[in-house]
Amino acid sequence: MENSGQTPSEIRHRIWMELGRATQDRLHAWRTPVLATTAEDGLPDARTVVLREADANTAHLRFYTDGRSAKISHLSGQPQAVLVFWSKRLNWQLRMRVSITTHAAGPVVDAVWARVSQSAAADDYLSPYAPGSALSAATPTAAPSRHHLAVLSAEVHDIDWLELARGGHRRARLGADTWDWLTP
Ligand SMILES: Cc1cc2nc3c(=O)[nH]c(=O)nc-3n(C[C@H](O)[C@H](O)[C@H](O)COP(=O)(O)O)c2cc1C
């Protein structure tokens, strides 16, 4: 493993640096965290998403999704969610408690769509069918006329950081301005 630094501030800095890298590097393990939400029936649900943006200064992450997907209705009922990242290279796991704001329209979505619409991923947001809708119920419709891109903005409240190492695991809870070492 690369030297992760020893002090809390070095580790915190490294975490956000790696999150930033993951938005640029398709091979970075932290590019595809698992997002866990609470469904309308109170039960947990989880799925993989792509990390699109990471802002260390504001402690915000961004994801893109289809505005008709189940996770959107989960988040409208319960905006508190959990993100789990694991990197074998770093031997680091992150479990983040976040609250998520959904942008389904407006300037934030318009700015992202201006970029995404020019990319191969545009089709992901142009299907006339809602994600998860039954194929048997799907009827042919006219060519897609509008996109369904939604931007998820996650405010990171705290991070449970776990490092696996032969010489001894380490774990800590990082708040905005706090650092607590925990038993792994
Ligand atoms: C590697 C990988 C990356 C994915 N990235 C995204 C993503 O960025 N946004 C998204 O909405 N779904 C993404 N998905 C699909 C989701 O995991 C999920 O199947 C879909 O969003 C429907 O989830 P929901 O019904 O819980 O809303 C990805 C799946 C995989 C396997």
At 138-167, the pLDDT tens digits run 665 556 668 999 999 999 999 999 999 999
Question: Is 36 a domain residue?
Answer: yes
Pocket of ligand 1 (CB under 6 A): 32, 45, 47-50, 63-66, 69-71, 131-132
pLDDT of residue 142: 54
What average pLDDT is seen over the chain?
A: 94
**Which residues fall within 8 angstroms of residue 142, CB to CB, at 6 or more apart?**
128
For residue 91, which of 178, 167, 174 has the smallest C-alpha distance? 167
Question: Is 139 a domain residue?
Answer: no
Atom in ligand 1 nearest the alpha carbon of residue 37: 26
Question: Is 156 a domain residue?
Answer: yes
pLDDT of residue 2: 47
Domain span at 58 = 8-128+145-182
Question: Is 45 a domain residue?
Answer: yes
Question: Is 137 a domain residue?
Answer: no
Question: Is 104 a domain residue?
Answer: yes
CATH number for 153: 2.30.110.10
Question: Is 163 a domain residue?
Answer: yes
Rg (CA), the chain: 18
Question: Is 103 a domain residue?
Answer: yes
Domain count, the chain: 1
Express each pLDDT in 53-100 by its tens digit. Answer: 999 999 999 999 999 999 999 999 999 999 999 999 999 999 999 999
Comparing 137 with 77, which gets the higher pLDDT?
Answer: 77
Atom in ligand 1 nearest the alpha carbon of residue 132: 25
